[in-house]
């Protein structure tokens, strides 16, 4: 069965838009996460209106939690599964699953690992995990450092303000992804377009026009990938995708063509979006907190912890959802079969029961790595170590080269509610003298002019 894309949109994002309108008319505060631009610009005060002793607040189609412990319990519980197809009801999921069989056109549809439960998820993860081991990430670090240096060389000496998103924060992760996928880096602008299309489905309630445009981009990517797989089978490289395409596990299992496509789509969407938002959010935070920037200049060993604090303080992904597989109970509260539970990751990461003074950005914070920015449980992000490495390398190199970097005007937040980051961030750059490719700047850096409130977290 082939379902027209307009029907797919109507049964997923279109349905969510109808629910949003209904709940907004009823005065449901949680609908503001998806509809109110002011809340999207700074959701954290709104999260605090939900923080009380109750484990859950009422959501749009289920329950919502802002609590770290409750969110962790849900994410790790065997009684919960993925909220595939955007959390659509069971009858609709059956129709969509039948239409999606043998295809891989969205990161929220099977066989994407974001949308499947065991045993399928266990098999996919077993095969894919080998490509994202600590050894594989370590091998990519040196290349990532080279990429950062090359990009900074390209903007060094610029007399005009530079957009750090398009010129740096987006370029670094997409080049690394090209290398993971064994694709020529000359295709990076195309991959940026495709990656944006793939990631848009992570944000619920897309308009029909936006959905159809995104689907065109995804289909173009999948067409290219099919030919790329054939090329890798004939002539595999040392990249991660070549290993996935050509290697079976100890039981002789391989990913099917559709599963490979779904995995490549997820790597591109999730890998790019998380990292570019991490880098942009990190720059914004260091502009807002010059004393923390000075600490990192004086104590560069703090950078790994600083990246975890950035992920905690302003999470690139703000929420995730799980569906109850059967009647169960969380923190003493009954949860019905098929009921959705939304975990507000950004709120859980500022839970005062876990993080002291949680609204303070502190690169020396003990326990910063307890954040849920990469989820938890069996769906913990496979690329977490890679994203953190890229974020650390990118930010460390940027501030080593340009210790006096100053943002100009107001950085522009992306028009999304779940993916939190910037799509434009203009800065003036004052390079320091360099010797043997190493910057010798003074510790710290001056802060820029006061920021408009919309840019703050």
DSSP of 223-264: HHHHHHHHHHHHS--SSHHHHHHH---TT-----HHHHHHHH
pLDDT means over runs of 10, the chain (457 residues): 86 87 77 81 93 90 94 97 90 88 86 93 87 81 96 88 96 92 90 83 85 91 94 89 78 85 87 91 98 98 98 96 97 96 97 98 98 96 93 98 94 91 93 44 33 34
Res 452: pLDDT? 31
Q: How many other CB atoms are found less than 10 A from the CB of residue 37?
A: 11
Gap between the Cα atoms of 433 and 241, Å rounded: 39
Instruction: List CB contacts of 396: < 8 A, sequence separation 6 or more.
Output: 296, 300, 303
| Radius of gyration (C-alpha) of the chain in whole angstroms | 22
Q: Phi then psi for 183, rounded to 5 degrees?
A: -100, 150
Res 103: pLDDT? 84
Res 39: pLDDT? 87
Q: Is the peptide bond before 111 cis (omega within 30 degrees of 0)?
A: yes
Res 332: pLDDT? 95
277 Cα distance to chain centroid = 7
Q: How many other CB atoms are found less than 10 A from the CB of residue 435?
A: 7
Gap between the Cα atoms of 426 and 165, Å rounded: 8
Of 102, 109, 316, 90, which Cα lies nearest the Cα of 215? Answer: 109
Res 24: pLDDT? 76
What is the number of domains present in the chain?
A: 1
* C-alpha separations of 337 from 74, 101, 322, 375 in Å: 14, 25, 11, 22
Q: Phi then psi for 104, rounded to 5 degrees?
A: -145, 75
Res 431: pLDDT? 62
Gap between the Cα atoms of 178 and 191, Å rounded: 8
DSSP of 306-325: HHHHHHHHS-SB-EEEEEES
Of 448, 457, 411, which Cα lies nearest the Cα of 312? Answer: 457
Q: Phi then psi for 371, rounded to 5 degrees?
A: -60, 160
* C-alpha separations of 226 from 103, 192, 219, 232, 345 in Å: 12, 19, 11, 10, 35
Gap between the Cα atoms of 155 and 167, Å rounded: 8
Domain residue limits at 291: 5-455
Res 432: pLDDT? 56
Of 159, 152, 157, which Cα lies nearest the Cα of 175? Answer: 152
Gap between the Cα atoms of 291 and 278, Å rounded: 20
Asked if residues 330 and 74 have their Cβ atoms less than 8 Å apart, the reply is: yes
DSSP state of 180: H
Asked if residues 386 and 131 have their Cβ atoms less than 8 Å apart, the reply is: no
- Residue 312 sits in a domain of what CATH number? 1.10.630.10
Asked if residues 332 and 55 have their Cβ atoms less than 8 Å apart, the reply is: yes
Res 309: pLDDT? 98
Structure tokens at 255: 């990913």
Res 446: pLDDT? 31
Q: Name the β-bridge partners of 407.
A: 427
DSSP state of 130: G
* DSSP 3-state of 435: strand
């Amino acid at each position: 069965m082939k379902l027209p894309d307009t029907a797919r949109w109507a049964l997923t994002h279109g349905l969510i838009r109808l629910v949003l309108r209904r709940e907004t008319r009823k005065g449901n505060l949680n609908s503001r996460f998806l509809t109110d631009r002011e809340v999207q610009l700074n959701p954290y005060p709104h999260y605090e209106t939900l923080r009380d002793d109750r484990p859950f607040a009422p959501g749009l189609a289920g329950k919502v939690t802002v609590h770290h412990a409750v969110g962790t319990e849900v994410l790790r519980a065997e009684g919960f599964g993925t909220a595939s197809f955007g959390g659509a009801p069971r009858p609709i999921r059956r129709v969509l699953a039948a239409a999606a069989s043998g295809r891989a056109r969205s990161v929220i549809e099977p066989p994407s690992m974001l949308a499947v439960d065991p045993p399928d998820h266990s098999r996919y993860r077993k095969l894919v995990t080998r490509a994202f081991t600590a050894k594989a990430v370590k091998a990519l670090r040196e290349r990532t450092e080279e990429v950062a240096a090359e990009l900074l060389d390209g903007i060094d000496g610029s007399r005009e303000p530079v957009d750090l998103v398009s010129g740096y924060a987006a370029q670094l992760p997409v080049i690394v992804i090209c290398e993971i996928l064994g694709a020529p880096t000359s295709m990076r602008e195309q991959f940026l377009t495709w990656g944006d299309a793939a990631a848009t489905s992570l944000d619920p309630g897309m308009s029909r026009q936006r959905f159809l445009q995104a689907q065109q981009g995804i289909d173009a990517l999948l067409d290219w990938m099919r030919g790329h797989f054939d090329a890798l089978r004939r002539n595999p490289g040392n990249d991660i995708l070549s290993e996935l395409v050509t290697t079976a596990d100890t039981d002789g299992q391989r990913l099917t063509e559709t599963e490979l496509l779904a995995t490549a789509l997820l790597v591109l969407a999730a890998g790019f979006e998380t990292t570019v938002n991490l880098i942009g959010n990190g720059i914004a935070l260091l502009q807002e907190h010059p004393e923390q920037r000075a600490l990192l200049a004086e104590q560069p060993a703090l950078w790994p912890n600083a990246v975890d604090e950035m992920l905690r303080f302003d999470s690139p992904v703000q929420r995730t959802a799980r569906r109850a597989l059967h009647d169960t109970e969380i923190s003493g509260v009954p949860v019905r079969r098929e009921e959705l539970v939304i975990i507000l990751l950004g709120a859980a990461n500022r839970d005062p029961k876990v993080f002291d003074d949680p609204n303070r950005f502190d690169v020396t914070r003990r326990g910063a790595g307890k954040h849920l920015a990469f989820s938890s449980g069996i769906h913990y992000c496979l690329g977490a170590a890679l994203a953190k490495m890229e974020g650390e390398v990118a930010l460390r190199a940027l501030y080593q080269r340009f210790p006096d970097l100053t943002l100009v005007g107001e950085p522009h937040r992306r028009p999304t509610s779940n993916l939190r980051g910037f799509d434009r961030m203009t800065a003036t750059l004052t390079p320091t003298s360099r010797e043997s490719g190493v910057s010798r700047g003074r510790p710290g850096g001056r802060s820029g002019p006061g920021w408009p409130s919309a840019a703050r977290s």
